[in-house]
Amino acid sequence: MTSLLESALKCENKNRPPVWLMRQAGRYLPDYRALRERHSLNELFHNSELAAEITRMPVDLLGVDAAILFSDITTIVEALGLQLDFIENVGPRISPLIETPDDLKIITPHSVEEKLSFVKKQIELLLPTLSVPLIGFCGGPFTVASYMIERSHREKISATKKWLYNDPQTFHHLLELITEASIEYLRMQIKAGVSAIQIFDTWASALAYPQFVEFSLRYLKQIVDALRETEIPIILFGKGFSLFAHDLAKLKPAAISFDWQKELIHLRQSLPSHIAVQGNIDPYLLLAPRATIRAMTERLLDSMRHEMGFIVNLGHGVLPETPVANVEFFIDTVKQYTAEPLFI
Residue 158 lies near a copy of itself (rule: CB under 8 A)? yes
Shortest distance (Å) from residue 206 CB to a copy of itself = 9
Closer residue to a copy of itself (CB): 134 or 164: 164
Closer residue to a copy of itself (CB): 311 or 314: 314
* d(C-alpha 61, C-alpha 70), whole Å: 16
Residue 39 φ/ψ, nearest 5 degrees? -135, 145
Shortest distance (Å) from residue 293 CB to a copy of itself = 9
Residue 320 lies near a copy of itself (rule: CB under 8 A)? no
User: By CB under 8 A, which span of 7-15, 16-24, 182-190, 285-293 interacts with a copy of itself?
Assistant: 285-293
Shortest distance (Å) from residue 159 CB to a copy of itself = 10
* d(C-alpha 30, C-alpha 49), whole Å: 18
Closer residue to a copy of itself (CB): 221 or 262: 262
User: By CB under 8 A, which span of 14-22, 74-82, 280-288, 331-339 interacts with a copy of itself?
Assistant: 280-288
Closest listed residue to residue 219, CA positions, set 188, 248, 256:
248
DSSP assignment of 283-324 equals: GGGGGS-HHHHHHHHHHHHHHTTT-SSEEEEESSPPPTT--H
Shortest distance (Å) from residue 275 CB to a copy of itself = 20
Closer residue to a copy of itself (CB): 226 or 287: 287
Please, what's the b/e burial string for 109-125 (b: 16 or more CB within 10 A of its CB; e: otherwise)? eeebeebbebbbbbbeb
Residue 98 lies near a copy of itself (rule: CB under 8 A)? no
Using a 10 angstrom Cβ sphere, with 0-12 exposed, 13-18 middle and 19 or more buried, the burial of residue 229 is: exposed
Residue 108 φ/ψ, nearest 5 degrees? -130, 100
- State the amino acid at position 159 in one-letter form: A
194-223: which residues touch a copy of itself (CB under 8 A)? 205, 207-212
* d(C-alpha 102, C-alpha 99), whole Å: 8
Rg of the chain on CA atoms, in Å: 19
Closer residue to a copy of itself (CB): 53 or 259: 259
**Among 83, 131, 284, 306, interactor with a copy of itself by CB under 8 A:** 284
Q: CB-based contacts of 117: which residues, under 8 Å, 6+ apart?
A: none
**Among 165, 230, 250, 270, interactor with a copy of itself by CB under 8 A:** 165
* d(C-alpha 263, C-alpha 251), whole Å: 22
Shortest distance (Å) from residue 87 CB to a copy of itself = 18
Closer residue to a copy of itself (CB): 127 or 287: 287
Q: What is the dihedral of CA 286, 290, 295, 297, to 10 degrees?
A: 40
Residue 297 lies near a copy of itself (rule: CB under 8 A)? no
**Contact residues for a copy of itself (CB under 8 A)?**
155, 158, 161-162, 165-166, 205, 207-212, 240, 242-243, 260-263, 281-282, 284-285, 287-289, 292, 296, 299, 315, 319
